[in-house]
Amino acid sequence: MSSMARGLQPASVVALPRSLAPAFEKFCQINSGPLPLLGESEPGKWTLPALGAVPGTRTGCPQFWKYEFGTCTGSLTSLEESSGQLKDMMAFLLGSSFSLEGAWEKGGLPRRDSAGHGHMGAYKTEVPCATIAGFCCPLVVTVRPVPKDKLEQLVQACCSAGGEHMDNRFTLVTQIVPASAGSSGIHFLLPSAELLGIKDLSKPDHGEPVVCQPGHVPVFWPSQLTSLEAVSTCSMSGLKGAVTLT
């Protein structure tokens, strides 16, 4: 589960054998939209040079997912009993799409969990990520229904949140083009779910279904859950085990 503690930046953790670390690091760098890399640890350690200790990565988190040879073999509530296996593994800290919550509020939209719902739906697409070594997987996106009259305001808020160098977590899966002469604002070319290869918004691959009310359109963002696809589809022989905290 992404860290949502007050004062902490939401993040997910992926732990891989160190033999795969260089390839996974490059995979994250070339696919920085869904996988913004915040830092990585030394083998067997759970501290990051720039960030210090990664809170709650061994205990205190609701769930870890364990992968063996690319297959999810179960979930764990603690990694304390796996300390021996983790000695040769490196932890990667990835930025989370939950960082968008501030942009939602600036755009005049309520937080996604304001009604007490769980995780909003995330969907596998037919859009391929750039391939590095054996890491080859589709992009996973999170979706939020947005009132049509809030789209421009939301884009402006996301651009502001992304900063001068435009943090790719805040990049909408859209095309934005200048308005035609004589008109104001900007135009949006929003890809439909079908164009992304999403067959049914009521059947997410992760989280809860998304329902678009009249006057709303689904807007998609890259999701850190792409890391689950990367691990589960990895064809590299060194992937004997992996742990993800998402």
* 222 and 110 together in one domain: yes
* 78 and 119 together in one domain: no
- How far apart, in whole angstroms, are the C-alpha atoms of residue 105 and residue 236? 42
Query: Please, what is the Cα angle at 175 between 220 and 28, to 5 degrees?
Result: 60
30-34, 41-45, 111-115, 164-168: least confidently modelled range: 164-168
- How far apart, in whole angstroms, are the C-alpha atoms of residue 221 and residue 143? 6
* 82 and 105 together in one domain: no
Largest CA distance in the chain: 66
Question: pLDDT tens across 129-154, in order?
Answer: 999 988 999 999 988 888 888 877 77
* 108 and 54 together in one domain: no
Structure tokens at 165: 């160098």
> Shortest CA distance to 162 belongs to which of 113, 109, 217, 97?
97
* 110 and 143 together in one domain: yes
Indicate the pTM of the whole model: 0.76
> Shortest CA distance to 245 belongs to which of 123, 67, 23, 38?
67
Provide the residue range defining the domain that includes 115: 98-226
pLDDT higher than 60, residue 244: no
Structure tokens at 80: 């304390």
- How far apart, in whole angstroms, are the C-alpha atoms of residue 79 and residue 13? 13
20-29, 120-129, 167-176: least confidently modelled range: 167-176
Does residue 6 fall inside a structural domain?
no
Q: Tell me, what CATH number does 160's domain have?
A: 3.30.2040.10
